């Protein structure tokens, strides 16, 4: 702990203030010795020392500061250790999930073949959905390279979208489980919500990644469904400073973004 400081200034008062600032002590806790009063071409010099009756308070302050720094360092090491552990588990988790998904997909395909003759098409499902909810909507089928989209457009379809697309995703899930299996993955979209949500999630990914890079601390996002987590993963997959990882179980599975330096 620094107990005594020599400082200079244009005058004695400024020299004292400079010394007090360096010591981080008020005037009543110090003894002041004037070395030079200064002059026209000479600076004033003083030696400011924490007085004997106040030294115990500053020793306690210094001890507490060191203790806090030590605890902070321990926490940081524990956090890094936890992140490294999570990163090692990430590969295992992904492989396990891929095997489970492959197993489930094979089982679904097998079951679909047995019951496909009795199932309705996705388009028929959506048409029935619109009728059941007593809505008026324009229904469009759009073929893309990897997916087929069934798009609803209308003026009063917000309740079919729900808060952050919860109803839309649930209906899309039901559609793919109830209807006949098609050659391509079928997505249900309403009033262009998926595109708007994708753009919003990308902006969120970039904003949170920037925050993680600046702070050096990981960020935990709110629970999302698999398609939304994938958007975040894909948006940041080429970022050299951060990486992403899914945690938790459905339907409350969430995503974390953390610095790649934790992997070192």
Asked whether the predicted pLDDT for residue 219 surpasses 90, the reply is yes
Q: Which residue has the higher pLDDT, 132 or 88?
A: 132
pLDDT recorded at residue 117: 58
Asked whether the predicted pLDDT for residue 257 surpasses 90, the reply is yes
Q: Which CATH code for domain 104-190?
A: 3.30.300.20
Mean pLDDT of 45-70: 80
pLDDT recorded at residue 237: 92
Ranges 1-10, 63-72, 79-88, most confident: 1-10
Q: Which residue has the higher pLDDT, 264 or 129?
A: 129
- Specify burial of residue 9 (Cβ count, 10 A radius: 0-12, 13-18, 19+): middle
Mean pLDDT of 79-90: 76
CATH topology of domain 192-264: Ribosomal Protein S8; Chain: A, domain 1 (3.30.1370)
pLDDT recorded at residue 75: 59
Beta pairing class for 242-247 and 254-259: antiparallel
Asked whether the predicted pLDDT for residue 264 surpasses 70, the reply is no
Task: Grade residue 113 by pLDDT with cuts at 50, 70 and 90.
Answer: low
Residue found by looking up tokens 């395909």 in the block: 109
Task: Give the rounded distance of the alpha carbon of 31 from its chain centre.
Answer: 51
Note whether 167 and 159 are within 8 A (CB): yes
Q: Which residue has the higher pLDDT, 173 or 110?
A: 173
What does the domain layout of the chain look like in residue ranges? 4-59, 104-190, 192-264
Asked whether the predicted pLDDT for residue 15 surpasses 80, the reply is yes
Note whether 125 and 178 are within 8 A (CB): yes
pLDDT recorded at residue 116: 55
User: pTM of the entire structure?
Assistant: 0.45
Mean pLDDT of 59-80: 73
């Amino acid at each position: 702990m620094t107990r005594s400081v020599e400082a200079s200034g244009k005058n004695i008062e400024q020299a004292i203030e400079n010394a007090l600032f360096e010591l981080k002590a008020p005037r009543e806790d110090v003894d002041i010795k004037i070395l030079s009063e200064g002059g026209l071409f000479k600076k004033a010099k003083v030696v400011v020392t924490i007085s004997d009756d106040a030294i115990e308070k500053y020793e306690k302050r210094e001890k507490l500061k060191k203790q806090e720094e030590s605890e902070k360092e321990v926490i940081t090491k524990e956090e890094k250790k936890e992140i490294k552990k999570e990163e090692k588990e990430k590969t295992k988790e992904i492989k396990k999930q891929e095997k489970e998904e492959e197993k489930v997909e094979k089982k679904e395909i097998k079951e679909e073949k047995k019951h496909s003759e009795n199932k309705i098409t996705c388009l028929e499902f959506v048409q029935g959905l619109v009728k059941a909810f007593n809505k008026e909507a324009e229904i469009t089928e759009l073929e893309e390279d990897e997916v087929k989209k069934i798009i609803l457009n209308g003026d009063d379809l917000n309740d079919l979208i729900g808060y952050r697309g919860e109803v839309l995703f649930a209906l899309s899930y039901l559609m793919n489980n109830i209807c006949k299996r098609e050659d391509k993955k079928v997505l249900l979209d309403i009033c262009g919500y998926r595109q708007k949500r994708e753009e919003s999630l990308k902006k969120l990914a970039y904003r949170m990644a920037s925050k993680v890079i600046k702070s050096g601390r990981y960020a935990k996002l709110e629970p999302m469904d698999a398609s939304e987590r994938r958007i975040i993963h894909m948006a940041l997959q080429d970022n050299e400073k951060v990486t992403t990882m899914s945690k938790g179980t459905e339907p409350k599975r969430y995503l974390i973004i953390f610095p790649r330096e934790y992997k070192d």
